[in-house]
Structure 1
Amino acid sequence: MMKSNRGDYKFPGGGVEAGESDKQALARELLEETGYTDFVIRELAGQAIQTHPDRIEKGAWYHLRSH
């Protein structure tokens, strides 16, 4: 997890690329965001949902679902 500039903690961002499984995307994101190469992904634990007002576009909301 990473500490954001807002003082909260969150998972690193990223997404699933075409042709990737969720586990493959997680492994790639872990490598890209942390540099770690020695880890084991046993099973996906669930999802995190973030919803808050958009900081740029007034009246818009930001909604992100991470698996």
Structure 2
Amino acid sequence: AESYGGKYAVTLGLSALKAIQDKKLKLIIGGIALGDSWISPEDFVVSWAPLLKYVSRIDDNGFAEAN
């Protein structure tokens, strides 16, 4: 099981961005990096087959089976 750190970092980043845009926070932020996050398993899993096909790790048959 993963912690909620990844979800918290995204929420914190969005809150900071909103505060910056609303002129409530004076900050220059370039972005937020997440390492090894598992925020949305459904979104991650559906991206595997296209990636594997793109890097030639599966063929058309494997792609059809994976989707």
Pick the TM interval, shorter chain: under 0.3
Radius of gyration: which is bigger? 2
Q: Higher relative contact order at CA 8 Å, sep ≥6: structure 1 or structure 2?
A: 2
**TM-score under structure 2 normalisation?**
0.25
**TM-score under structure 1 normalisation?**
0.25
Higher strand proportion (structure 1 or 2): 1
